[in-house]
Amino acid sequence: MEETINEDINKIKKEVEEVGNILFSSETWFDIGKLGLKVFFIILLSIIVVKVGKSVISRAFKVKLKGALRHTERRETTLVKLLQNTLSYVVYFAAILAILSAFTINVAGILAGAGVLGLAVGFGAQSLVKDIISGFFIIFEDQFSVGDYVQINAAVGTVEEIGLRTTKVSAYGGEIHIIPNGNISEVVNYSVNNSLAILDIRLAYETDILKTEKLLETFLAGLSEGYEALISQPTIVGIQDLGTSEIVMRITAETQPVMQYAIARNLRRDLKIFLDMNDIEIPYPKMVMYQPKK
Protein backbone atom coordinates (compact mmCIF):
# COMPACT_ATOMS: atom_id res chain seq x y z
CA MET A 1 0.00 0.00 0.00
CA GLU A 2 2.78 2.40 0.96
CA GLU A 3 4.68 1.54 -2.20
CA THR A 4 1.64 2.44 -4.34
CA ILE A 5 1.25 5.77 -2.54
CA ASN A 6 4.94 6.54 -3.02
CA GLU A 7 4.69 5.73 -6.72
CA ASP A 8 1.71 8.10 -7.08
CA ILE A 9 3.56 10.85 -5.24
CA ASN A 10 6.60 10.35 -7.48
CA LYS A 11 4.42 10.56 -10.59
CA ILE A 12 2.81 13.78 -9.36
CA LYS A 13 6.27 15.23 -8.61
CA LYS A 14 7.49 14.33 -12.08
CA GLU A 15 4.40 15.88 -13.72
CA VAL A 16 4.83 19.05 -11.63
CA GLU A 17 8.52 19.19 -12.57
CA GLU A 18 7.64 18.77 -16.26
CA VAL A 19 5.01 21.53 -16.08
CA GLY A 20 7.49 23.74 -14.23
CA ASN A 21 10.17 23.09 -16.82
CA ILE A 22 7.74 24.01 -19.57
CA LEU A 23 6.47 27.14 -17.82
CA PHE A 24 9.88 28.43 -16.82
CA SER A 25 11.58 27.43 -20.04
CA SER A 26 12.85 30.31 -22.17
CA GLU A 27 11.92 28.40 -25.31
CA THR A 28 8.27 28.16 -24.19
CA TRP A 29 7.96 31.89 -23.58
CA PHE A 30 9.81 32.59 -26.80
CA ASP A 31 7.31 30.45 -28.73
CA ILE A 32 4.37 32.12 -26.95
CA GLY A 33 5.77 35.57 -27.71
CA LYS A 34 6.43 34.61 -31.31
CA LEU A 35 2.86 33.29 -31.66
CA GLY A 36 1.42 36.42 -30.02
CA LEU A 37 3.39 38.66 -32.40
CA LYS A 38 2.16 36.66 -35.38
CA VAL A 39 -1.47 37.05 -34.28
CA PHE A 40 -0.93 40.75 -33.53
CA PHE A 41 0.63 41.45 -36.93
CA ILE A 42 -2.08 39.45 -38.74
CA ILE A 43 -4.82 41.49 -37.03
CA LEU A 44 -2.94 44.76 -37.57
CA LEU A 45 -2.29 43.97 -41.23
CA SER A 46 -5.93 43.03 -41.85
CA ILE A 47 -7.14 46.31 -40.26
CA ILE A 48 -4.69 48.32 -42.38
CA VAL A 49 -5.68 46.48 -45.57
CA VAL A 50 -9.39 47.08 -44.88
CA LYS A 51 -8.90 50.80 -44.16
CA VAL A 52 -6.64 51.36 -47.16
CA GLY A 53 -8.90 49.28 -49.41
CA LYS A 54 -12.01 51.21 -48.35
CA SER A 55 -10.20 54.50 -48.95
CA VAL A 56 -9.06 53.36 -52.42
CA ILE A 57 -12.60 52.24 -53.33
CA SER A 58 -14.06 55.53 -52.14
CA ARG A 59 -11.51 57.62 -54.05
CA ALA A 60 -11.85 55.51 -57.19
CA PHE A 61 -15.56 56.31 -57.37
CA LYS A 62 -14.94 60.01 -56.78
CA VAL A 63 -13.04 60.22 -60.07
CA LYS A 64 -15.50 61.46 -62.66
CA LEU A 65 -15.11 59.58 -65.88
CA LYS A 66 -15.25 61.55 -69.13
CA GLY A 67 -17.23 60.10 -71.99
CA ALA A 68 -20.25 57.87 -72.24
CA LEU A 69 -19.51 55.80 -69.15
CA ARG A 70 -20.52 57.88 -66.13
CA HIS A 71 -21.64 56.66 -62.72
CA THR A 72 -24.54 58.47 -61.11
CA GLU A 73 -24.10 59.57 -57.50
CA ARG A 74 -26.93 57.33 -56.33
CA ARG A 75 -25.31 54.25 -57.85
CA GLU A 76 -21.86 55.24 -56.57
CA THR A 77 -23.12 55.28 -52.98
CA THR A 78 -24.58 51.79 -53.33
CA LEU A 79 -21.55 50.24 -55.05
CA VAL A 80 -19.05 51.87 -52.68
CA LYS A 81 -20.81 50.51 -49.61
CA LEU A 82 -21.26 47.05 -51.12
CA LEU A 83 -17.62 46.76 -52.25
CA GLN A 84 -16.33 48.02 -48.91
CA ASN A 85 -18.43 45.46 -47.02
CA THR A 86 -17.29 42.68 -49.36
CA LEU A 87 -13.65 43.68 -48.86
CA SER A 88 -14.08 43.59 -45.06
CA TYR A 89 -15.65 40.10 -45.16
CA VAL A 90 -12.90 38.67 -47.41
CA VAL A 91 -9.97 40.20 -45.50
CA TYR A 92 -11.24 39.29 -42.04
CA PHE A 93 -12.08 35.75 -43.17
CA ALA A 94 -8.54 35.37 -44.52
CA ALA A 95 -7.17 36.78 -41.24
CA ILE A 96 -9.11 34.19 -39.22
CA LEU A 97 -7.69 31.40 -41.39
CA ALA A 98 -4.17 32.79 -40.95
CA ILE A 99 -4.58 32.94 -37.15
CA LEU A 100 -5.82 29.34 -37.09
CA SER A 101 -2.80 28.31 -39.16
CA ALA A 102 -0.53 30.07 -36.66
CA PHE A 103 -2.00 27.84 -33.93
CA THR A 104 -1.13 24.81 -36.13
CA ILE A 105 -4.80 24.02 -36.70
CA ASN A 106 -5.57 22.11 -39.88
CA VAL A 107 -7.33 24.79 -41.93
CA ALA A 108 -7.71 22.55 -44.99
CA GLY A 109 -9.72 20.06 -42.95
CA ILE A 110 -11.96 22.83 -41.60
CA LEU A 111 -12.58 24.19 -45.10
CA ALA A 112 -13.36 20.71 -46.42
CA GLY A 113 -15.80 20.11 -43.58
CA ALA A 114 -17.36 23.53 -44.13
CA GLY A 115 -17.79 22.72 -47.81
CA VAL A 116 -19.68 19.52 -47.06
CA LEU A 117 -21.76 21.29 -44.40
CA GLY A 118 -22.47 24.17 -46.79
CA LEU A 119 -23.63 21.72 -49.45
CA ALA A 120 -26.01 20.08 -46.99
CA VAL A 121 -27.34 23.43 -45.73
CA GLY A 122 -27.68 24.73 -49.30
CA PHE A 123 -30.46 22.28 -50.08
CA GLY A 124 -32.47 23.71 -47.19
CA ALA A 125 -31.55 27.35 -47.81
CA GLN A 126 -33.04 27.92 -51.23
CA SER A 127 -34.73 31.14 -50.10
CA LEU A 128 -31.35 32.51 -48.96
CA VAL A 129 -29.81 31.69 -52.35
CA LYS A 130 -32.79 33.33 -54.04
CA ASP A 131 -32.32 36.49 -51.94
CA ILE A 132 -28.60 36.70 -52.80
CA ILE A 133 -29.15 36.17 -56.54
CA SER A 134 -31.96 38.77 -56.57
CA GLY A 135 -29.73 41.22 -54.67
CA PHE A 136 -26.96 40.76 -57.21
CA PHE A 137 -29.27 41.54 -60.14
CA ILE A 138 -30.79 44.55 -58.33
CA ILE A 139 -27.33 46.09 -58.04
CA PHE A 140 -26.07 44.89 -61.44
CA GLU A 141 -29.12 46.23 -63.30
CA ASP A 142 -29.22 49.43 -61.19
CA GLN A 143 -32.94 48.96 -60.45
CA PHE A 144 -32.63 51.31 -57.47
CA SER A 145 -29.84 52.67 -55.29
CA VAL A 146 -29.22 54.03 -51.81
CA GLY A 147 -31.02 57.36 -51.43
CA ASP A 148 -33.72 56.62 -54.02
CA TYR A 149 -37.36 57.22 -53.16
CA VAL A 150 -39.14 53.99 -54.10
CA GLN A 151 -42.17 51.84 -53.63
CA ILE A 152 -41.24 48.19 -53.08
CA ASN A 153 -44.29 45.98 -52.74
CA ALA A 154 -46.26 47.81 -50.00
CA ALA A 155 -43.30 49.77 -48.59
CA VAL A 156 -42.87 53.39 -49.69
CA GLY A 157 -39.84 55.44 -48.63
CA THR A 158 -36.13 56.11 -49.09
CA VAL A 159 -33.67 53.25 -49.64
CA GLU A 160 -31.29 53.21 -46.67
CA GLU A 161 -29.24 50.14 -47.51
CA ILE A 162 -28.97 47.47 -50.19
CA GLY A 163 -27.35 44.18 -49.27
CA LEU A 164 -27.03 40.91 -51.11
CA ARG A 165 -29.78 39.44 -48.91
CA THR A 166 -32.06 42.29 -47.77
CA THR A 167 -33.01 45.86 -48.66
CA LYS A 168 -33.88 48.47 -46.01
CA VAL A 169 -36.43 51.19 -46.82
CA SER A 170 -37.05 54.11 -44.46
CA ALA A 171 -40.66 55.33 -44.55
CA TYR A 172 -41.77 58.95 -44.08
CA GLY A 173 -42.76 58.31 -40.45
CA GLY A 174 -39.38 56.80 -39.56
CA GLU A 175 -40.33 53.13 -39.92
CA ILE A 176 -37.68 50.83 -41.40
CA HIS A 177 -38.94 48.13 -43.77
CA ILE A 178 -36.51 45.22 -44.11
CA ILE A 179 -37.39 43.35 -47.29
CA PRO A 180 -35.74 40.08 -48.43
CA ASN A 181 -34.50 40.65 -51.98
CA GLY A 182 -36.15 37.44 -53.15
CA ASN A 183 -39.56 38.85 -52.15
CA ILE A 184 -39.20 42.02 -54.25
CA SER A 185 -41.74 41.48 -57.02
CA GLU A 186 -42.46 45.07 -58.08
CA VAL A 187 -40.46 48.30 -57.77
CA VAL A 188 -41.54 51.86 -58.54
CA ASN A 189 -38.52 54.18 -58.55
CA TYR A 190 -39.41 57.87 -58.24
CA SER A 191 -35.80 59.11 -58.29
CA VAL A 192 -34.68 58.18 -61.80
CA ASN A 193 -36.48 60.83 -63.87
CA ASN A 194 -37.68 64.36 -63.19
CA SER A 195 -41.05 64.61 -61.45
CA LEU A 196 -44.17 66.52 -62.43
CA ALA A 197 -46.21 68.64 -60.01
CA ILE A 198 -49.87 68.88 -61.04
CA LEU A 199 -52.14 71.57 -59.61
CA ASP A 200 -55.84 71.98 -60.33
CA ILE A 201 -57.12 75.49 -59.58
CA ARG A 202 -60.86 75.98 -59.22
CA LEU A 203 -62.26 79.25 -60.48
CA ALA A 204 -65.75 80.69 -60.42
CA TYR A 205 -67.78 80.74 -63.66
CA GLU A 206 -67.86 84.54 -63.42
CA THR A 207 -64.05 84.67 -63.78
CA ASP A 208 -62.54 86.25 -66.90
CA ILE A 209 -60.53 83.24 -68.11
CA LEU A 210 -58.30 85.07 -70.64
CA LYS A 211 -57.37 87.78 -68.13
CA THR A 212 -56.73 85.18 -65.43
CA GLU A 213 -54.46 83.15 -67.71
CA LYS A 214 -52.35 86.24 -68.51
CA LEU A 215 -52.06 87.12 -64.82
CA LEU A 216 -51.07 83.56 -63.95
CA GLU A 217 -48.43 83.44 -66.70
CA THR A 218 -46.88 86.63 -65.29
CA PHE A 219 -46.96 85.15 -61.79
CA LEU A 220 -45.42 81.82 -62.87
CA ALA A 221 -42.64 83.57 -64.81
CA GLY A 222 -41.54 85.45 -61.68
CA LEU A 223 -41.07 82.47 -59.35
CA SER A 224 -37.66 82.48 -57.68
CA GLU A 225 -37.12 82.03 -53.94
CA GLY A 226 -38.30 78.65 -52.69
CA TYR A 227 -38.52 77.21 -56.20
CA GLU A 228 -34.90 76.15 -56.79
CA ALA A 229 -36.08 72.60 -57.52
CA LEU A 230 -37.98 73.70 -60.62
CA ILE A 231 -36.51 72.47 -63.89
CA SER A 232 -38.45 74.95 -66.04
CA GLN A 233 -41.21 77.53 -65.72
CA PRO A 234 -44.58 76.00 -64.76
CA THR A 235 -47.03 75.66 -67.65
CA ILE A 236 -50.75 76.46 -67.80
CA VAL A 237 -52.19 73.39 -69.50
CA GLY A 238 -55.68 74.87 -69.80
CA ILE A 239 -59.22 74.13 -68.69
CA GLN A 240 -59.23 70.63 -67.25
CA ASP A 241 -62.90 70.34 -66.32
CA LEU A 242 -66.18 72.23 -66.18
CA GLY A 243 -67.77 71.33 -62.89
CA THR A 244 -71.22 72.03 -61.52
CA SER A 245 -70.07 75.21 -59.76
CA GLU A 246 -66.47 75.80 -60.82
CA ILE A 247 -64.01 75.84 -63.70
CA VAL A 248 -60.90 73.66 -63.13
CA MET A 249 -57.68 75.04 -64.58
CA ARG A 250 -54.60 72.81 -64.56
CA ILE A 251 -50.99 73.92 -64.06
CA THR A 252 -48.01 71.57 -64.35
CA ALA A 253 -44.42 72.08 -63.19
CA GLU A 254 -41.41 69.89 -63.97
CA THR A 255 -39.21 69.47 -60.88
CA GLN A 256 -36.18 67.59 -59.71
CA PRO A 257 -36.92 63.96 -58.72
CA VAL A 258 -39.31 63.62 -55.74
CA MET A 259 -39.55 67.41 -55.32
CA GLN A 260 -43.04 67.71 -56.87
CA TYR A 261 -44.80 67.60 -53.49
CA ALA A 262 -42.79 70.47 -51.97
CA ILE A 263 -43.16 72.59 -55.12
CA ALA A 264 -46.91 71.90 -55.26
CA ARG A 265 -47.36 72.98 -51.63
CA ASN A 266 -45.47 76.24 -52.22
CA LEU A 267 -47.41 76.94 -55.42
CA ARG A 268 -50.80 76.39 -53.74
CA ARG A 269 -49.90 78.82 -50.95
CA ASP A 270 -48.54 81.52 -53.27
CA LEU A 271 -51.35 81.09 -55.79
CA LYS A 272 -53.97 81.62 -53.08
CA ILE A 273 -52.25 84.85 -52.03
CA PHE A 274 -51.92 85.98 -55.67
CA LEU A 275 -55.56 85.25 -56.52
CA ASP A 276 -56.76 87.13 -53.45
CA MET A 277 -54.60 90.14 -54.37
CA ASN A 278 -56.15 90.21 -57.85
CA ASP A 279 -59.75 89.65 -56.64
CA ILE A 280 -60.03 86.33 -58.43
CA GLU A 281 -62.57 84.23 -56.58
CA ILE A 282 -61.97 80.63 -55.65
CA PRO A 283 -65.46 79.07 -55.48
CA TYR A 284 -66.70 77.32 -52.38
CA PRO A 285 -70.07 75.79 -51.49
CA LYS A 286 -72.70 78.42 -50.78
CA MET A 287 -76.17 78.10 -49.39
CA VAL A 288 -78.89 80.44 -50.65
CA MET A 289 -82.14 80.55 -48.73
CA TYR A 290 -85.35 81.79 -50.27
CA GLN A 291 -88.28 82.81 -48.15
CA PRO A 292 -91.58 82.15 -49.90
CA LYS A 293 -93.98 85.07 -50.23
CA LYS A 294 -97.11 84.86 -48.17
Q: Give a yes or no: residue 267 inside a domain.
A: yes
Q: What is the pTM of this model?
A: 0.54
Q: Give a yes or no: residue 291 inside a domain.
A: no
The range of the structural domain enclosing residue 273 comes to: 195-277
pLDDT given for residue 14 in this prediction: 64
Q: Characterise 244 by phi-psi region: left (phi > 0), alpha (psi -120 to 50), beta (else).
A: alpha
pLDDT in tens, 174-215: 889 999 888 888 888 888 888 899 999 898 888 888 999 999
pLDDT in tens, 101-138: 777 777 666 666 555 555 555 555 677 778 777 887 78
CATH, residue 89? 1.10.287.1260
**Is 141 in the same domain as 40?**
no
DSSP state letters, 185-240: --EEESSSS-EEEEEEEEE-TTS-HHHHHHHHHHHHHT--TT-TTBSS--EEEEEE
**Is 146 in the same domain as 160?**
yes
Q: Give a yes or no: residue 175 inside a domain.
A: yes
**pLDDT band per the 50, 70, 90 thresholds, residue 258:** confident
**Overall average pLDDT of the 53-63 stretch:** 78
Cα–Cα distance list, 147 to 173, 189, 228 (Å):
16, 11, 20
**Is 118 in the same domain as 215?**
no
Q: How many domains does the chain have?
A: 3
**Is 74 in the same domain as 39?**
yes
Q: Is the pLDDT of residue 33 over 80?
A: no
Q: Give a yes or no: residue 289 inside a domain.
A: no
CATH, residue 222? 3.30.70.100
pLDDT given for residue 68 in this prediction: 40
Strand runs labelled E in 125-171:
149-152, 155-162, 166-170
